[in-house]
Amino acid sequence: MPPFLTSSYRLYLYSFLYLALPSLIFIFGWFRLAISLPALGIIGYSTFLFFKELTKFSNRDTFTLPPARSIKLLLISTGICLFSGIGGFTFQGDAEKHYSMLYDLVNQDWPVLYISDLILEKKAFLNYYFGYFLPPAFLAKTFNIHWIDDLILVWSILGLYLSFCWVLKLANAKHIGWAVLMLLFLGGQDFIYATLKLGLNHIFTDKPGIWEIYIAEVNTVCVFHNTILRYPTNFYAVSWAPQHLFGAWICTSLVTDQVIFRKNIRNIGFIAAFLPIWSVFNAIGLLPFLMVFIWKGFRKFLSFQNLAGGGILVFLVGTFFIAHYPVEDQGWIWEYIPFPQAMIKILLFLLFEFGYLALIMNGYAQKSPYKLIWQISLITLSVLPFYVLGYFNDLLMRAAVPSIFLINVVAVCFFYQWKFKYKKLATGLVLFMVAFPQLIAIGKHLPGTIMFHAAHGFSESRKRVNEGKSLLQVTDAEWFNYQYFGKSDSFYMKFLAKKQNLK
């Protein structure tokens, strides 16, 4: 069979296009032609070399994805995205911010420039990891701005579908159900922690408001210490931060498959260089893996696509993000939590978030092909909590995504070879305890939304991007402006950005 007809080759092709398209649009739309055209030429040639090498391995790959399975995965992906509020039919977390950014991307020229006394300086520009939003925004700008709501939904469905396909491939999973459930729901047992701590405090102490705090934490998917210690669970993050999931999952999958199953690191730097425009924090979380892989095979890493293709991507995206306003909310964990309490809380956090999984699966993982990746994941997740960066500690939540994804993949592998008689019951209980607060937090909005749609008409009552407002009108809070805006006098704006008039 020709390589391009195999399921594996097609999955690589679609995944690479999905991962790379935001960077290509970004370079073309946000940089001067004298810079973007040569850069796109280098990236194009690197892509040619990548797929030329890929054909050498495709015939050895036994992964198949029959049409019936694809249809099931597409239906599941569609249902999850709709339930999570993507597309505007029901509640979606952080929708106001995301819709406002989409509004600006669709309705303003690129780069998106702002002139206002409400922001940190009178002149600024949109500076955010907006890779997830760029392809739908570009298509809407090109064809019809009113398509944006449907385009972001379709784009999200494709991202989740490809992620599910990769879990099936990497775990060699024969059945869809458990693999999908474990990717979405396997994670931190915050609910159990909140129940033990706050529930017992409510019973044995006279502290006022404990029960109210417990209910509040369950309804916000329970956090260990406000927003300082928190790993996201994937199902909840699909609603609140899809921009930090789909690109990271697909990029991590491509890199993992190249290293573990194809024994090839000639492309991993090139692949990984497409991730920062999706999420800088995701890229930071992938960096420990890249460093170890490069250390173990430095000479093999020295390829045109890694050095030239990956290099030009890192340079252009790097100059863009260097223009970002500095993040003032940062410091060591003990600057936020008193030192003795911080260490105890971190140990409990690590135990309830992924430690319980590590204790169960470590014996299997150490003998599996994922041994090295498993070890890097555990170390990365253990180190991340010690430094806080961002108003909501985005570093911890988002840099953890690649490692959590890989632990979930190993968990799927472990599940299918686990000989425990009641493994389905045990796994189901674990997943339910993770899912319960998430389903409450997202699902509590569903009845009201359905009633609202019934009263006002399903299409008419849909939340739409072009009925929203600009980012400038969301809030004038400094932490918000630090998150979304960049400096107009930066190197990027002076020498690299497309020319526009800042009046």
What DSSP assignment string belongs to 359-415?
HHHHHHHTTSTTHHHHHHHHHHHHHGGGEEETTTTHHHHHHTHHHHHHHHHHHHHHH
Whether 91 shows a pLDDT value over 90: the answer reads no
Region 8-12 average pLDDT: 89
3-state helix, strand, coil in the chain (%, to 5): 70, 5, 25
β-strand partners of 387: 332
- Residue 141's CB is within 10 A of a number of other CB atoms, namely 18
What values do phi and psi take at 497, rounded to 5? -70, 150
Confidence of residue 381 (pLDDT cuts 50, 70, 90): very high
Q: Does the pLDDT at position 59 exceed 80? A: no
The least confident of 71-80, 182-191, 283-292, 432-441 is: 432-441
Mean pLDDT, residues 420-426 taken together: 88
Q: Which pLDDT score is estimated for 503? A: 46
The structure tokens listed for 138 are: 């570009």
pLDDT of residue 173: 86
Query: What pLDDT sits at residue 432?
Result: 82
Could you tell me the pTM of the whole model?
0.91
Query: If you average pLDDT over residues 485-493, what whole number do you get?
Result: 90
* Dihedral angle, C-alpha 363, 365, 368, 369, nearest 10 °: -150
Q: Give the whole-number percent of the chain exceeding pLDDT 90.
A: 50
pLDDT, residue 328, reads 76
Mapped to the 3 state alphabet, what secondary structure does 193-221 carry?
HHHHHHHHHHHHCCCCCHHHHHHHHHHCC
Rounded mean pLDDT, 253-274: 94
As a whole number, mean pLDDT of residues 469-496 equals: 80
Q: What is the pLDDT of residue 105?
A: 94
Phi, psi of 389 (to 5 degrees): -140, 120
Highest mean pLDDT pick, 105-119, 183-197, 270-284: 270-284
Report residue 55's pLDDT band, with 50, 70 and 90 as the boundaries.
confident
E strand or H helix that includes residue 331:
strand 330-332
Q: Which residue has the higher pLDDT, 431 or 255?
A: 255
Q: What does each C-alpha distance from 466 to 108, 147, 149, 242, 455 come to in angstroms?
A: 12, 10, 9, 20, 22
| Mean pLDDT over each residue of the chain, to the nearest integer | 85
Is 452's pLDDT higher than 70? no
Q: What is the largest CA-CA distance in the chain?
A: 72
The average pLDDT across 227-253 equals 88
Q: Is the pLDDT of residue 262 over 90?
A: no
Closest of 448, 476, 465 to residue 149, by C-alpha: 465
* Structure confidence at residue 329 as a pLDDT band (50, 70, 90): confident
Alpha carbons 502 and 148: distance in angstroms, whole number: 27
Determine the Cα–Cα distance for residues 334 and 341; give it in Å rounded to an integer: 9
Across 48-62, 173-187, 196-210, 367-381, least confident range: 196-210
pLDDT over threshold 50, residue 144: yes
pLDDT at 456 (0 to 100): 62
Q: How confident is the model at residue 47 (pLDDT cuts 50, 70, 90)?
A: very high
- Nearest CA among 446, 438, 437, 439 for reference residue 89: 446
- Sheet of strand 485-487: strand arrangement: 113-115, 123-126, 485-487
Q: Give me the mean pLDDT over the 146-173 stretch.
A: 95
